[in-house]
Amino acid sequence: MRKIALFGLTMLLMIIMFGCFPSRNIQYFESCNYDATKNITRFEKLPLGYVDIPGKWYETTYNDYSKQQFFKNADSVSIAVVFWPQNQYSIYKHGETNMAFLKDYYDMNVKTIAMQSKGQWSIIKQDSINQNYILSKFYNDSKVDTYYLYGLINGSFYNLFVKTNKWNEQQKIDFLESMFIHKK
């Protein structure tokens, strides 16, 4: 009888002890809806955030490794959106400034993508006032011309990109900034 009581007490303590630790498995709610009155597609990943994408866009594929949700519009322009907790990245350092994190992420992408695709990167713009986004460009001999916006809002990392030969550079920059800057 005493062994059963001791076993029961041990199990109760283990349940209480392990039940007090926070779970690392965070659940996210995703939705994508087009609002015809505003002519925007809202992509949400709650509780991390949302983006309002100008125009009507359709979800295509999802890359589980990079957390990228890909979209296309009627003109076959490709974009991708990532929201992910900043502190979940291996390059995250507690106490680091937003711009330092963004530059580390940019450097990591330069090393991986440029080596794989044999291309070049350039930073087009940095938000020097709020220190919360970097706009960059990747291009190579194969005429790959992709624009990225890396940003941070309230601990959520945003990685937005557009890839098309149908828009000029300023259209791509304006498009990416329109999805991010209104959130400030």
Tokens of 84: 């992910």
pLDDT for position 28:
87
Which one is predicted more confidently, 179 or 2? Answer: 179
> What Cα–Cα distance (Å) separates residue 113 from each residue in 8, 101, 163?
55, 18, 14
Structural domain boundaries, residue 155: 2-183
Identify the weakest region by mean pLDDT among 14-28, 58-72, 75-89, 161-175. 14-28
Q: Tens of pLDDT along 40-53?
A: 999 999 988 899 99
CB within 8 A of 135, min separation 6: which ones?
A: 123, 124, 125, 126, 147, 148, 149, 173, 176, 177
Contact status, residue 52 vs residue 179, Cβ threshold 8 Å: yes
The mean per-residue pLDDT over the stretch 4-29 comes to: 48
pLDDT for position 148:
95
Q: Tens of pLDDT along 98-110?
A: 999 999 999 998 8
Distance, CA of 43 to CA of 30 (rounded, Å): 7
Give me the CATH number covering residue 60. Answer: 3.40.1000
Cβ neighbours, 10 Å, residue 23: 7
Instruction: State the pTM of this model.
Output: 0.81
pLDDT for position 5:
41
Q: Tens of pLDDT along 78-89?
A: 999 998 999 999
Name residue 92's amino acid: Y
The mean per-residue pLDDT over the stretch 6-30 comes to: 49
**What's the domain count of the chain?**
1
